[in-house]
Chain A
Amino acid sequence: MLERYAPEDREAGHESREPMLGPSATWYLGVAAFLFSTGALGVLLRRNPLIVLLSLEIMLNGANLALIGYARHLGDGAGQIFAIAVMAVAASEVVVGLGLVVALNRRRVPLDVDRLNSLRG
């Protein structure tokens, strides 16, 4: 039973997939670039910290799409591992960011990233 699921057996070639159907990796990278810059636009443009966090998620997802596109293109699983690690980092970032937003709201501080400038030098 264990040998059936051994990766060496799967990679032996008698069960290999078709070559990549549909668009090539360039198209995926184009979508990833567009997503990343859309997220960057949101981070720079919006002043509500919640929407800044949502735009940050879009940026991270653009990077994830590029990682997974390259993983498929090169046939190397390390890109997918990296993408899962990025997901964990994004979840942590959301926890801390939303914690900050809730803390700001409890102190009746305005939710506007332009006015939160107490730490400016």
Chain B
Amino acid sequence: MIVASVGNVLVWAVWMAAAFACLGSGIAVVSFSNPFFSALALIGNLGSLAVLYLLLSAEFVAAAQVLVYAGAVMVMFLFVIAYIGPRQESPWAGGPSWQAVGAVLAAGALMVEIIVVIGLKASGSLAHSAHIGAAFGSPSEIGRLFLTDHLLAFEVTSIILLVAAIGGVILGEHARREVPGARALRARGSRSGP
């Protein structure tokens, strides 16, 4: 009993640290003016999310999160940011515009909406979680589900990745060619703004 309560306190402590790191780095991504720092904050966000996944006994997804997101995707982001060069953009410059106020209101409404729906529809059934086997979330279980129950999802995912790879190659190749509309866009962009 004592061991169980110590474990409970420990899990709560880890959860608190990971959840606050997650929320703080999420806000940091949105509010940093330099995209490089935003990308670095997103790496912290993904890492703390991986800790939350581990607490939810999703070991394979946590490992995939760190490898795929924090490894591959974020390295690609950092390469593109380094290629484009630092571009500062301060979201709150020049006082609150109607656009910024509308965005904050819409995001707040979205959050209130989600929380109200969860509270109304699911709060009663969320107190007691199901018991799970020791294999839950392990690579063998994920692999078994992927190759038996969710084979179609597995194949469709591979097709999506193939199409995205082809699209990336095509976008990178056609970027060298000049298109008629680009000059007009450039001319519009060199003006001082709307």
Contacts and interface: CB of A to CB of B under 8 A. Distances in A.
B153 A85 contact: yes
Contact of B57 (A45, A48, A72): A72
A43 B56 CA distance: 28
Interface residues of B, number: 106
A63 to B, nearest CB: 11
A116 B114 contact: no
Question: Which of A38, A47, A89 has the most C-beta atoms of chain B within 10 angstroms of its own C-beta?
Answer: A38
B153 A47 contact: no
Interface residues of A, number: 91
Interface in B82-132: 83-84, 87, 89, 91, 99-100, 102-104, 106-108, 110-111, 114-115, 118, 122-123, 126-132
A108 interface: yes
Interface in A1-55: 5, 7, 10-11, 13, 15-31, 33-42, 44-48, 50-51, 53-55
Contacts of A84: 60-61, 64, 142, 157
Contacts of A30: 115, 118
Given A92-B160, A105-B84, A118-B184, A28 B56 contact: yes
Which DSSP category, helix, strand, loop or mixed, fits chain B's interface? helix
Contact of A51 (B29, B69, B150): B29
Which DSSP category, helix, strand, loop or mixed, fits chain A's interface? helix
A77 B135 CA distance: 10
Contact of B110 (A37, A82, A106, A115): A37
A61 to B, nearest CB: 6
Contacts of A114: 194
A91 B142 CA distance: 19
Contacts of B194: 114-115
A2 to B, nearest CB: 11
B2 interface: no
A105 to B, nearest CB: 5
Given A23-B12, A54-B42, A116-B185, A77 B145 contact: yes
B62 to A, nearest CB: 9
A87 B160 CA distance: 11
A33 B174 CA distance: 39
A91 B161 contact: yes
Contact of B133 (A11, A73, A82, A88): A11
B22 A22 contact: no
A51 B35 contact: yes
Interface of A: 5, 7, 10-11, 13, 15-31, 33-42, 44-48, 50-51, 53-55, 57-58, 61, 64-65, 68-69, 71-78, 80-85, 87-96, 98-103, 105-112, 114-116, 118
